[in-house]
Amino acid sequence: MHESAYPLRGKRLVLVVDDEPINRALLGAMLEETCDVIMAENGREALALMEQNRSRLSLVLLDLKMPVLSGTELLKAVRADETLRRIPIIVLTADQDAEIESLDLGAIDFIPKPYPPAGVVLARVRRTIELSEDRSIIRATERDELTDLFSREYFYRYAEQFDRLHEETAMDAVVIDINHFRLLNERYGKAYANRVLRRVGEKLREAVQDSGGLVCRREADIFLLYCPHRDDYESVLEHSGAGLTGEQAGSARVRLRMGVYENADKTIDIERRFDRAQVAADTIRNNLTRPIAYYDAALHQAELFAEQLVEAFPDAIRERQFQVCCQPKFNVQGDAPRLVSAEALVRWEHPTLGKISPADFIPIFERNGLISELDRYVWHETAAAMRDWRENGGVTLPVSVNVSRVDMLDANLSERFLEITRAYGISPSDLLLEITESAYTSDSEYIIATVRKLRALGFRIEMDDFGTGYSSLGMISRLPIDALKLDMLFVQNAFGETRDTRMLELILDIAEYLKVPVIAEGVETKEQMTALRALGCEIIQGYYFSKPIPLPDFGAYIEEQLR
């Protein structure tokens, strides 16, 4: 069991209830060295103290015969209360018959009067407390088979109990994550990856054990640490990542990443405290130079902002605060640039917060799934506009919509798209779907199957943000796609200060090998456009041609361009 590895420290709080001052004094003297003791003279006082200390109280020692409210009455009252009922009660009595009655009423044990020697009383007190703590923990028990650390549930409950016993101790909630664990798994195999997990778990435990810290593996490669505040996390991290070089992995070094929520606010749920640590860890996801991030005032502000946006979402949909814009894409390989399609991009005009950038709200809605509802709204708006252009302007232009990775997990996705094309009389081949590269890398087999199905139905797929994910060449060559959409960063890097076009050329080579056209976005100048065209890039989107235009105005734009 874990108790030996994780002794719960700190004095337990015990309530002694007896109307005789001498009895209170005797018990107080026996207990005071190992426990914090509070006293009550009758049942009513005791009930009040139990209510005040309901979360911290470990045990009640209860006399039965008392004025005002007797011990028996108190037992009845406690039994009727959901939370008070969990506090173990030992009855103090000289009357053998009363014992049975009090056990029936929920007392857990009894101590006869006159009291046995202090050692006996203390042993009973300790055993009763241990049993009740075990019982509340065992309900959520089970450890992680692989690392032998606490399971997540057990860990959370243990942490809560730790808090109850150490109200004054400042605690840190920490999340530790292994960088590129998925790659490690793929490259060196599961057995090696498991060994890494075990090793990291062991080292983490070693690092914090002395200070009373608790460790668990939350899932996959994510570890949680709950420990009294400290400021040497660099060395904890160093210690935990040490010895992970070499082995099969050659010189590949296993790197850990850590998010720390210091002096955690104990009034919020324990899970939420770790969410905050996770938020901090996420800020350094692709940062190899900074292994530790702290949850700070700025992140807290961001969290509050995110909550505000999530709350505002239902009204925003209902009141049509979201608008859709279209940004044109031009084929530049002919004599003159030719409008070939457009991308639908969502905008949010909030009545009090003003314009909010999709770069701000999309990631938030992706985290909690609201993105699916928003995306469906955008798809419908876009399809309705396409019908309008055709019916009122006589023009048809293919338009791409963004498909979030959350949408990709929707089992009804292809039916939804089919339904939209039917409802608005659009050909599936005119609805282009932009799927971000990183969606492919998260659950590739499933995503690839979904994409195959969509293509079989006639939809065309553009792989968005290409170059930011970690697709292997092997995987890319199996991908069913119709175009690669270069991440804007490549364009910016290629024409920024360094003028390094090698990455760009490499990606264009890959596209040529795959025989798919390349779309460059974020193209702002004529110089960029000319250079990209010379490198073989076929389609260009960006401010150079046009900023995104609100849907109601885009019909006129198309007519003008196609005239």
Note the residues at the interface with ligand C2E (CB under 6 A): 327, 345-346, 357-359, 362, 371, 375, 378, 402, 404, 464-465, 488, 521-524, 542-543, 548
Minimum Å gap between C-beta 362 and ligand C2E is 5
Q: Are 93 and 64 in contact (CB under 8 A)?
A: yes
Q: Which is nearer to ligand C2E, 72 or 546 (CB)?
A: 546
Which of Ca ion, ligand C2E, none does residue 358 bind (CB under 5 to 8 Å by kind)? ligand C2E
Minimum Å gap between C-beta 326 and Ca ion is 12
Q: Which is nearer to Ca ion, 133 or 464 (CB)?
A: 464
Q: Which is nearer to Ca ion, 45 or 464 (CB)?
A: 464
Neighbouring CB atoms inside 10 A of 406's CB total 17
Minimum Å gap between C-beta 402 and ligand C2E is 4
- Site residues (CB under 5 A) for Ca ion, limited to 379-418: 402
Minimum Å gap between C-beta 465 and Ca ion is 4
Binding mask 416-455 for Ca ion (x = CB under 5 A): ------------------x---------------------
Q: What is the 3-state secondary structure (H, E, C) of 245-303?
A: CCHHHCCCCCCEEEEEECCCCCCCCHHHHHHHHHHHHHCCCCCCCCCEEECCHHHHHHH
Which of ligand C2E, Ca ion, none does residue 221 bind (CB under 5 to 8 Å by kind)? none
Count of residues interacting with Ca ion (CB under 5 A): 4
* Ramachandran quadrant class, 499 (left: phi over 0; alpha: psi -120 to 50; beta: rest): left
Q: Which is nearer to ligand C2E, 121 or 378 (CB)?
A: 378
Rounded to whole angstroms, the maximal C-alpha distance in the chain is: 107
The phi and psi torsions of 291 (rounded to 5 degrees) equal -85, -15
Q: Which is nearer to ligand C2E, 391 or 497 (CB)?
A: 497
Tokens of 38: 């509070």
d(CA 536, CA 518): 8
Minimum Å gap between C-beta 420 and ligand C2E is 14
- What single string gives the DSSP state of each residue in 425-446? T--GGGEEEEEEHHHHHHSHHH
Minimum Å gap between C-beta 463 and ligand C2E is 11
Q: Are 485 and 521 in contact (CB under 8 A)?
A: yes
Binding mask 456-475 for Ca ion (x = CB under 5 A): --------xx----------
DSSP state of 117: P
d(CA 401, CA 342): 9
Minimum Å gap between C-beta 390 and ligand C2E is 21
Residues that bind Ca ion (CB under 5 A): 402, 434, 464-465
